[in-house]
Structure 1
Amino acid sequence: MRQTNRHLLLSSVALAACLVFGSVAGAATPDAKPAEEKAATFGARDVKSFAGAFLAARTADVDHDYPTAIALYRKALDFEPANLEIRERLMISLLLNGDFADGLKEAEALKSDTAVERVTKIVRGLDALRSGKYDSARKILAYEGPNDLDRLTHLLLSGWADVGAGKGKKAIATINGLKGPAWFKVFTDYHLGAMAIVAGDTSTARQYLNRAVTNNDAVATAPDTFMRAVMALARLEASAGNKQKALDAISVGDGMISNYAPLKALRQSIEKGEKPAQQVTTAAEGAAGVLFSIGGALNRQGAEDMVALYLQISHALDEKSADTLIMLGGIAEKLEQPQRAIAFYQQVPEDSPMRRISELQLGITLSDTGKIDEAKSHLKELIQSDPADIRSYIAYGSVLSEAKDYKEMAANYDKAVEVIGSVPRQSDWSVFFQRGIAYERLKEWPKAEPNFRKALELNPEQAQVLNYLGYSLVDMNLNLDEGLKMIQAAVDARPDDGYIVDSLGWAYYRLGRFDDAVTELEKAIQLRAGDATINDHLGDAYWRVGRKLEAVYQWNRTLVSEGEDVNREHVKQKIENGLPALDPNATNTVRNQTETPAQAAPAPATPDKKS
């Protein structure tokens, strides 16, 4: 199955770690009603038993509907005020909802509860730190456990408490004495540099930030922290009047992670002779940066709650941190909460160099809520405001793809290619890939194929391109051997991607290798259960190997599965009549007996919405 991933294409550093990029103490989640109003809306006030309140709260919790969960947990506590488990869940829900003040009250009440000590220590310690109670913060944050990550986190937070107390040298010496795995350095070097800046020791700051920027493991381990180090070093050198050294630092960052908008903005500022202020100027902002660093490094599928918890606490300490807001928005998108994501993106300060990233992602997310015209208008304005920014064309193109406006999509990417010029960079592969998809959708293969091949020239191992081009070649009965090799290479690169495995199975089917098709399509349906196209493909393959009862079962599954790219009327005909007999004399029997017209050209899927 051909596929695209629209959110992948806009990656900034923060979004790449999550994109693919809270509120102040006491405030609710951006798009949330107050918990009491939510309670009325969802009938929490009408709950008549502890069991009813608890079960409803857990359902809301699992759905990441924190305001409703909060109201229902509180209702459950009305029935059983001493229930420790309910109070623990209430505290976590409050913090995930951005209600730091109320979460802090619960953390104080639960400070002796070892089950949630990991959270209560950080919440209480950081509240003391931001209140200027640095000695209290250090005592609360003391950690002697065996977990390396917790040990690192607590020591860095304690270090920032020392910096706040005017004990910068002590903080640096203590952190320098930390023993642990090699990846500690990715985080300690940056924070040591930032601590030295706040403490006024520019020489020491330069030493550690240079180490952070030249750490070969930093980009892979913690790209967000790496870019913070690059920008801190550039700002430090610019402030010291070392313009060229500042630009050199930016070049290092650009060489590792290209097209990062804040870095571009910082370069322009320094080239003008400006001396941009540091992102971290206080102990509270530094401590917030610790949780941002750890959260960014942990940000992967399945870890959304833990990452969001760290980021919401970080946001309470540094409410203007743009990269934190963008990462929170990205997590909300992964959890399919577009309105919540939009609210986070809108909070990014207008004067932030990351504002454009938030605006681009906002445009895509507006499209996800069904506001296609608003999304188009928003993104077209962004293109007009900076026609040289390739990411704007990618964002606009993704909305056009979702709207199936392939003619405008092709024209958009034609303009993007003009902007790129005659010497595209490796990172431009996605522009050519998307332009190829647009022309393939328009059935203009002579224009589509060169774009796919250009994308592969720029990024030869890109699995999406290998899959899409290989599938197209096999599906159109062109260069079958080459197409099959491409799909196999895509499967080798991403063996757990059900869409790509489906492509391999369907390629075997097109080639008349039905037993091989069944093998691969059975793998695909295990990887991506409930996908209509894969169910349909597997049904066809079962029919050809004589497993007709199972074929009919799969076709029936097709009718109730997710997916827009299947001709359901044709599937009903197959359930009724089966598949036509193959011509034994045909060179490619399946291709000469087209069974499912819709299957010959399924529209690009968006697997990120189904993950």
Structure 2
Amino acid sequence: MRRLLLAACAPFVLLSACATTQTSELDPAAPAAADSAYGMFLAGNAALSGGRSAEAAKFLELARNESGGDPSITERAFTAALMAGDIERAAALAPSGPDAGEPGKRLGRLVKVVAALAKNKGKVAKAELATDGIGFPHRGAAALLGPWVAAASGDVEGSLVRPQLRGDPGVDYFGQIGQAHLFERARRYDEAETDFKAVTSGDSPSEISVLAYGGFLERRGRRPEALEYYDAALKRNPANLAVRAARARAAAGKSPPAAPSIKQGAAFALLAPAATMVSAKQEATALAYLRLSLALDPDRSEAWLMVGDLMQQAGDVEGGRAAYQKVKATAAEFPAAQAKLAWSYQSDGDKEGALRLARAAAATGDRDGRLTLSDLLRANEQYDEAIQILNGLIAESKAPEWTLYYARGQALERTGRWKEAEADLSLALKMRPDEAELLNYLGYAWIDRGERLKEAMGMVEKAVAANPRSGAIIDSLGWAHYRLGDYTKAVEILEQAVELEAGDPEINSHLGDAYWMVGRKDEAGFQWRRVLTLKPDDKIKADAEKKIAEGLGPQQRVAGQ
């Protein structure tokens, strides 16, 4: 193939598993919802399962008041307020007492620490953090917050103690970055630099550590060293927007970035456990940490991007878009936010809105903005304009980039300029000979054209070995067997592809063709009719309709031609 919540079950569940039909069908604005604590509870659950956290928080708090402070409703109201980003209210509703669930109490204590820190009540935050109640899974977050809370309370020596947690390398690494900043804050610059050098050692230091150490060098008046350091980082990764921006700032002699404030440092400290929770598929806990981070530093762009992603995944499209729109135009993450925003409109079927956003971002001249526009143009079959943009990007590239040649090759192939497309795709494959997607695309193109079939078969087999769970790639292998006349084998492999990509119209069309060629004509007709229910493009639709009417005929015929 060429193509490659928040339910109220518990404080940590994002998916709407608890929402019953009765709840989901309830209109939260209906008067019946206000007739009782139960009605408001249902309305709150419905809003929560739909991702409307702020609305849920209002209904659930009303339900809590009507119920006389029922602990289970209080816990749900706490969850809704936290997910909506109302940290002050969440802190007030934090579960406590013998009837509250232990997970909710642990998270509640962490929320109280952040709420106090946000109000500049460092001693209150420190006292709350000193309790023994912030246990699993929040120990890492509490450990990373500890030095910043100490700093907020005026405990300088305590702030310089590096947080460590056995078995948690994230706490060790990000704790050392935080310690470096706090050493700098205490004017212990040699010790700060020792930490910065430690976290940037190795062949591939992280973007975070590069920016932290580079900013430190600039603040110390060592601009030439900072420039040299940024240049070394850009040599490793020329496309890094944040480092490029830092290098441009230093080269222009502009003011260096300020050292993080206590709140900013604490907000940064919460990003590491948030990312860990995302990796562990604990999306609700990740979102909670991100909301806490943003309560301390509302301009934290990477946090807004992560919130947007989580809200989109939970089905709250508008909430996700609102988060992406929080990223300021001056932030290094702005192009990424605009790209995500544009693709959200594309996924929603608003192609004009998606292209309008992408054109506005591309008009700034930003490279990633132009690349996003070219991708959206290809997705909307506006290949000629996409090719023009890609021509410019390729001409400007200091070193050949296989992704650009691959994208242009796809667009050229779709416009019928096969020889040019083949040249681009072959060049991209020469640069990335083991890239499964490339092997599949070029191999499939040759297979579909009836060219270099044995070579193409080998390429697709290599792609399948690299990515055995891709229905699109397995379809290419099945279609190769079809084109070589091994229809029985084609059926076997194409059935696997359909199992993996049941909603793909082209794979279903291919399986129908293979069924026909082995004499299973009723099943072939079923597959072709199924294609028409899967939103096929005009070419695949017309081909399916013709085959339903006429079949494939006595001779093999390539689907889609």
TM category, shorter: 0.7 to 0.9
**Does residue 1:211 correspond to 2:190, yes or no?**
no
Name the SS of the counterpart of 2:208 in structure 1: helix
Q: Distance in 1 between the 2:444 and 2:65 partners? A: 59
The answer on 1:64 being equivalent to 2:51 is: yes
Alpha-carbon distance between aligned partners in 1 of 2:38 and 2:541, rounded to the nearest angstrom: 43
Task: Provide the rounded CA distance (Å) in 1 between the counterparts of 2:551 and 2:52.
Answer: 45
1:184 CA displacement: 4.0
Tell me the distance in 1 between the aligned counterparts of 2:246 and 2:305.
18
Are the structure 2 counterparts of residues 357 and 115 from structure 1 closer, same or farther at C-alpha, using a change threshold of 3 Å?
A: closer
Distance 1:199 1:247 in 2: 25
Deviation for aligned residue 1:203: 1.9
The one-letter amino acid of 2:31's match is: R
Give the alignment partner of residue 136 of structure 1, picking from 124, 135, 157.
124
Contact 2:505 2:540 in 1 (8 A): no
**1:235-250 → structure 2 map (5 Å cutoff):** 235-250=215-230
Compared CA separation, residues 452 and 44, structure 1 to 2 (3 A): farther
Are residue 395 (structure 1) and residue 372 (structure 2) matched?
yes
Distance 1:165 1:101 in 2: 19
Structure 1 residues 525-561: Cα deviation after superposition (integer angstroms, max 9, x where no partner): 3322333333332233333334444444433433333
Aligned partners of 1:62, 1:535: CA distance in 2, in Å? 34
Q: Does 1:488 align with 2:467?
A: no
1:352 and 1:107, CA in 2 relative to 1: closer, same or farther beyond 3 A? same
Alignment of 1:46 onto 2:32? yes
Task: Tell me the CA shift for residue 274 of structure 1.
Answer: 2.9
Contact 1:502-1:520 within 8 A present in 2 as well: yes
Q: How far is 1:337 from its partner?
A: 4.8
Q: Which amino acid aligns with 2:485?
A: G
**Aligned pair 1:202/2:189, yes or no?**
yes
What secondary structure is seen at the aligned counterpart in 2 of 1:495?
coil
* Partner SS state of residue 250, structure 2: helix
Partners of 1:493 and 1:207 in 2: CA distance: 42
CA spacing shift, 1:81–1:452, aligned 2, 3 Å: farther
Aligned pairs for 1:6-155 (under 5 A) are 42-47=28-33, 58=45, 60-70=47-57, 73-74=60-61, 77=64, 80=67, 83-107=70-94, 112-142=100-130, 150-155=138-143
Q: Aligned with 1:560: secondary structure? A: coil
Find the counterpart in structure 2 of residue 12 from structure 1: none
Rounded to whole Å, the distance in 1 between the matches of 2:95 and 2:123 is 17
Structure with the bigger RCO (C-alpha within 8 Å, sep 6+) is 1
Matched, 1:348 2:327: yes
1:575-594 residue CA offsets vs partner (Å, 9 max, x unmatched):
46543234xxxxxxx4xx23
Pair 1:332–1:113, CA change in 2 (3 A): closer
Post-superposition CA distance 1:353-388 (Å, at most 9, x none): 4334434544444545555455545544544433xx
The secondary structure found in structure 2 opposite 1:299 is helix
Equivalent in the alignment of 1:295: 274
List alignment gaps of at least 5 residues for structure 1: 5-38, 220-225, 583-589, 601-611
Q: Distance in 2 between matches of 1:551 and 1:50?
A: 56
Q: In structure 1, what is the Cα distance between the partners aligned to 2:297 and 2:197?
A: 25
| Structure 1 residues 335-367: Cα deviation after superposition (integer angstroms, max 9, x where no partner) | 565543443233223443433443454444454
Cα 1:214–1:564 change in 2 (3 A) is farther
Kept after mapping to 2: 8 A contact 1:108/1:124: no
> Alpha carbons of 1:403 and 1:540: their partners in 2 closer, same or farther (altered >3 Å)?
same
Q: How many angstroms apart in 1 are the aligned matches of 2:134 and 2:491?
A: 49
Structure 1 residues 142-541: aligned runs within 5 Å = 142=130, 150-175=138-163, 178-215=165-202, 226-278=206-258, 281-300=260-279, 302-335=281-314, 337-368=316-347, 372-373=351-352, 375-376=354-355, 378-386=357-365, 389-420=366-397, 423-424=399-400, 428-541=401-514
- Please give the secondary structure, in 1, of the residue aligned with 2:495: helix
Measure the CA separation in 1 of the matches of 2:330 and 2:475: 46
Asked if the contact 1:372–1:403 (Cα under 8 Å) also holds between the matched residues in 2, the reply is yes
Deviation at residue 418 of structure 1 after TM alignment? 1.6
8 Å contact kept, 1:338–1:366: no
Q: Displacement of 1:475 after TM fit?
A: 0.6
- Contact 2:147/2:159 (8 A) holds in 1: yes
CA–CA distance in 2 between the matches of 1:170 and 1:333?
Answer: 40
Q: Secondary structure at the match of 1:385?
A: coil
CA distance in 1 between partners of 2:466 and 2:49 (Å): 33
Bigger mean CA deviation after superposition, 202-211 or 81-90: 81-90
Q: Is the 8 A contact 1:110 1:120 kept in 2?
A: no
Report the CA distance between 1:473 and its aligned residue: 1.1
Cα distance per residue 1:177-230 (max 9 Å; x no partner): 6433545433222222222233332222211122112256x86xxxxxx32221
Identity of aligned residues (%): 27
Residues 6-65 of structure 1: CA distance to partner in whole angstroms, max 9, x if unpaired?
xxxxxxxxxxxxxxxxxxxxxxxxxxxxxxxxx997434334777776666555544434
Amino acid at match of 1:45: P
Contact 2:109 2:133 in 1 (8 A): no
CA contact (8 A) 1:143 1:154 kept: no
Deviation by residue 1:239-270 (Cα, 9 ceiling, x = unmatched): 11222321243245435544222211110111
**Matched residue of 2:532: which SS?**
helix
Relative to structure 1, is the Cα distance of residues 245 and 169 closer, same or farther in structure 2, using a 3 angstrom cutoff? farther
> Given residue 2 of structure 1, which amino acid in structure 2 is its aligned partner?
R
CA distance in 1, matches of 2:253, 2:188: 23
Task: Tell me the distance in 1 between the aligned counterparts of 2:436 and 2:84.
Answer: 37
Check 1:181–1:305 CA distance in 2 against 1; reply closer, same or farther (3 A cut): closer
In the alignment, the residues of structure 2 paired with residue 90 and residue 511 of structure 1 have an alpha-carbon distance, to the nearest angstrom, of 62
Cα offset, 1:114, TM superposition: 0.6
Matched residue SS, 2:298 = coil
Contact 1:390 1:419 in 2 (8 A): no
- Structure 2 CA distance, aligned partners of 1:453 and 1:147? 55
C-alpha separation in 2, matches of 1:258 and 1:537: 42
Which amino acid is the alignment partner of residue 227 of structure 1?
A: E
State the one-letter code of the partner of 2:192: A
**Counterpart Cα distance in 1 of 2:67 and 2:198:** 54
With normalisation by structure 2, the TM-score equals: 0.85
Distance 2:86 2:347 in 1: 27
Residue of structure 1 aligned with 2:531, choices 534, 546, 558: 558
SS in 1 for 2:498: helix
Secondary structure at the residue paired with 2:160? helix
Take 2:97 and 2:437, find their aligned partners in 1: how far apart are those partners?
48
Aligned partners of 2:517 and 2:36: how far apart in 1? 56
Measure the CA separation in 1 of the matches of 2:507 and 2:45.
Answer: 33
Q: What stretches of structure 2 of length at least 5 have no aligned partner?
A: 5-24
Mean CA deviation greater in 338-347 or 395-404? 338-347
Query: What is the CA-CA distance between 1:437 and the residue it aligns to?
Result: 1.2
Q: Which amino acid counterpart does residue 190 of structure 2 have in structure 1? A: S
Question: Shift of the alpha carbon at 1:322?
Answer: 1.6
Match of 2:3 in 1: 3
Inter-CA distance 236–464: structure 2 relative to 1 (3 Å threshold) = same
Could you say if the C-alpha distance between residues 337 and 433 of structure 1 is closer, same or farther in structure 2, counting changes exceeding 3 Å? farther
